[in-house]
A and B are shown apart, each in its own frame.
Chain A
């Protein structure tokens, strides 16, 4: 406990059980320092810690028992690994003498979590506690952040030892932030200065490095248009003139088309995920590629850069900005408009501004975003709701988007929204979910009730697993295999948890319902029945060239 307080931990998401009881007993005396949130399932604790970490920039902390509790955290740990979220998960473990005997609730946590953590360590004796906790937090938050697991044997929890805490600042085998190399900066600057049609791709690396200001200065000096990845969202404000939108499979038309038209592609803290690149063989082949990343292993993993720039974006971006020339690129920037216009006419108009027919996901998201003056934190579940929200929600400040990008975890929404609200209590947190994902972690409504966490939950209910349905319609000859859902009365469920809510069935009820939801800071569930056959367009089919964009017309 003292170690956690020394690391500045003030919030823990957890669930007690046999092999962690001594720690929970100690927690009882620390209630003034540490706010423990009792979730309804350990998976919920991990996603809540992720949501907390993503909006606050602090390390999310989970505390659970051994065995099934530990295995329940695996999804959240994997999610945090793929999305580079700093998190420390402390699992209880059977007493050291029982290890390896198949004791009650014993499972090989270190073995299971090694492939999906930055570091996993078993604490077997009390003398190791301070050292291991210090190291865990250092590893989780430094460099490219990620999850760390501490598997804490019960026998070590009850031993007494002199408390001697030293924060960890150095591990010789782990150098988290590569030093900026002047030769790499020069090579990249030469490419940027020679560029007629530069284009920047903004990833979460910018947010994780707190380099939003540095990014803006860089883009403005060179007048370089930029687009963000799913996790890079909110690194710039939505109305920043050089912000050209969202990349990838369901991204905007212009950024995807321009990827294959630009002459210099500048990737900043992003990892060329397949959902961004589509077919690598046809991806930006005409362009010189500059890749800024903090993680050496990302350089050349998917796309081989002409100019790699290793380091934190906080250091590399200003180094580039200082040496590069000012430029205008007026015509190049203007050339994005043609595609924006096409997308507006073919897709956005009918998705966001429909005048008749059933309600659409796009219009609901757009209206909620506007009703918050684009100032809210967006949390999404996974699927159509996620892609629509990523397309139509708008941001005015950074760390405003929490979603499960890499792992694509359905059920992420509710618990992540709880964590986000705990991490940014003064902000409005809007969580969009589908009817499918909502039911995967629906028990967390209990946590929201107990703690009165003021999250605004919106179910975009199409009575289908919408994204799978969309693929079935497009790629599986409309064979809708097990995607239709008979749903419960979500409002009645919320009522049972004493959470207010409204169900909207008609378009003319929508504005009033949104206003009712946002009138105070209490938890609220809004269920909006949207069209069953809604599709997310534009779409670059999986594995296709980024310019092969379907508009659904």
Chain B
């Protein structure tokens, strides 16, 4: 079976130790997490994990079932890139004098849609949002031309293209069946 990049979305209760419960499931199967991002979701008290990994569909489907099985997990599902609108953000710290030596930085800014977050005599912090390949390309170009002091890329955040909102549908279903959902 073909290995490709999958994005797993997990909605959980906001309890201690959930990240550990999720990572154990990966460790046991010797799977690397490529990126991970965790934050409160749109619904109060529910947290959202976005995890990317390289795997076959067989493996990713089993991992998702095992995650979903944990008591405090509300919902887990997986998607490929085609099903998603997704984004990552990257920050680049560059020595100011090196950047100025380059002469004009207009080309760079236009090419990569860069925002400048901070600038002083010593360094400049640039921000770029985009897919992995885009932030990586900019990193490589800067590294070769002016050098990069620090570089950081966030985990992926993603939104599904589907018309079905799986978490809200599930909570609604529970509300109907049990007359409560919290």
Interface, chain A (partner B; CB < 8 A): 110-111, 114-115, 118-120, 139, 170-175, 295-297, 300-301
User: Would B68 and A114 count as touching, CB distance under 8 A?
Assistant: no
User: Would A172 and B17 count as touching, CB distance under 8 A?
Assistant: no
Q: What are 25 A-B pairs at a CB distance below 8 A?
A: A111-B17, A111-B20, A114-B21, A114-B24, A115-B24, A115-B28, A118-B71, A120-B17, A139-B71, A170-B178, A172-B74, A172-B181, A172-B182, A173-B12, A173-B71, A173-B73, A174-B71, A174-B72, A295-B69, A296-B65, A297-B62, A297-B68, A300-B62, A301-B62, A301-B65
Taken together as a complex, chains A and B put the C-alpha atoms of A326 and B180 apart, in Å, by 42
Interface, chain B (partner A; CB < 8 A): 12-13, 17, 20-21, 24, 28, 61-62, 65-66, 68-69, 71-74, 171, 174, 178, 180-182
In whole Å, how far is B15's beta carbon from the nearest beta carbon of chain A? 9
| Least CB separation from A111: chain B residue | B20
State the majority secondary structure of interface residues on A.
mixed
In whole Å, how far is B124's beta carbon from the nearest beta carbon of chain A? 41
Taken together as a complex, chains A and B put the C-alpha atoms of A31 and B139 apart, in Å, by 70
Partner of B17, one of A114, A118, A297: A114
Q: Which of A111, A171, A172, A297: most chain B Cβ within 10 A?
A: A172
| Least CB separation from B74: chain A residue | A173
> 4 extra interchain contacts, Cβ-Cβ under 8 A, other than A115-B24, A170-B178, A297-B62?
A114-B21, A170-B180, A173-B72, A301-B65
Taken together as a complex, chains A and B put the C-alpha atoms of A494 and B24 apart, in Å, by 44
Contacts of B69 in A (CB 8 A): 295-297
In whole Å, how far is B56's beta carbon from the nearest beta carbon of chain A? 13
Contacts of A120 in B (CB 8 A): 17
User: Would A297 and B66 count as touching, CB distance under 8 A?
Assistant: yes
Q: Which of B20, B69, B71, B72: most chain A Cβ within 10 A?
A: B71
Taken together as a complex, chains A and B put the C-alpha atoms of A377 and B171 apart, in Å, by 44
In whole Å, how far is A115's beta carbon from the nearest beta carbon of chain B? 5
Taken together as a complex, chains A and B put the C-alpha atoms of A56 and B5 apart, in Å, by 48
Taken together as a complex, chains A and B put the C-alpha atoms of A163 and B71 apart, in Å, by 26
The list of the 7 closest CB pairs from A to B, nearest first, reads A297-B65, A173-B74, A115-B24, A119-B71, A174-B71, A297-B69, A172-B181
Contacts of B73 in A (CB 8 A): 173
| Least CB separation from A174: chain B residue | B71
Contacts of A300 in B (CB 8 A): 61-62
Q: Which of A110, A115, A173: most chain B Cβ within 10 A?
A: A173
Taken together as a complex, chains A and B put the C-alpha atoms of A297 and B62 apart, in Å, by 7
User: Would A175 and B71 count as touching, CB distance under 8 A?
Assistant: no
In whole Å, how far is B68's beta carbon from the nearest beta carbon of chain A? 7
In whole Å, how far is A136's beta carbon from the nearest beta carbon of chain B? 11
User: Would B21 and A171 count as touching, CB distance under 8 A?
Assistant: no
Contacts of A110 in B (CB 8 A): 17
In whole Å, how far is A298's beta carbon from the nearest beta carbon of chain B? 9
| Least CB separation from A124: chain B residue | B16
User: Would A172 and B174 count as touching, CB distance under 8 A?
Assistant: yes
Taken together as a complex, chains A and B put the C-alpha atoms of A351 and B154 apart, in Å, by 66
Taken together as a complex, chains A and B put the C-alpha atoms of A326 and B132 apart, in Å, by 60
| Least CB separation from B61: chain A residue | A300
Taken together as a complex, chains A and B put the C-alpha atoms of A470 and B159 apart, in Å, by 56
Known: A115-B28, A301-B62. A172 touches B71 (CB 8 A): no
| Least CB separation from A115: chain B residue | B24
Contacts of A115 in B (CB 8 A): 24, 28
| Least CB separation from B28: chain A residue | A115
User: Would A114 and B20 count as touching, CB distance under 8 A?
Assistant: yes
Taken together as a complex, chains A and B put the C-alpha atoms of A441 and B88 apart, in Å, by 55
Contacts of B13 in A (CB 8 A): 173
Taken together as a complex, chains A and B put the C-alpha atoms of A207 and B136 apart, in Å, by 56
In whole Å, how far is A244's beta carbon from the nearest beta carbon of chain B? 31
| Least CB separation from A118: chain B residue | B71
Contacts of B61 in A (CB 8 A): 300
Taken together as a complex, chains A and B put the C-alpha atoms of A114 and B22 apart, in Å, by 10
In whole Å, how far is B4's beta carbon from the nearest beta carbon of chain A? 19
Contacts of B181 in A (CB 8 A): 172
Taken together as a complex, chains A and B put the C-alpha atoms of A171 and B72 apart, in Å, by 9
In whole Å, how far is A125's beta carbon from the nearest beta carbon of chain B? 13
Taken together as a complex, chains A and B put the C-alpha atoms of A110 and B72 apart, in Å, by 15
Contacts of A173 in B (CB 8 A): 12-13, 71-74
In whole Å, how far is B171's beta carbon from the nearest beta carbon of chain A? 7
In whole Å, how far is B175's beta carbon from the nearest beta carbon of chain A? 9
Taken together as a complex, chains A and B put the C-alpha atoms of A295 and B73 apart, in Å, by 15
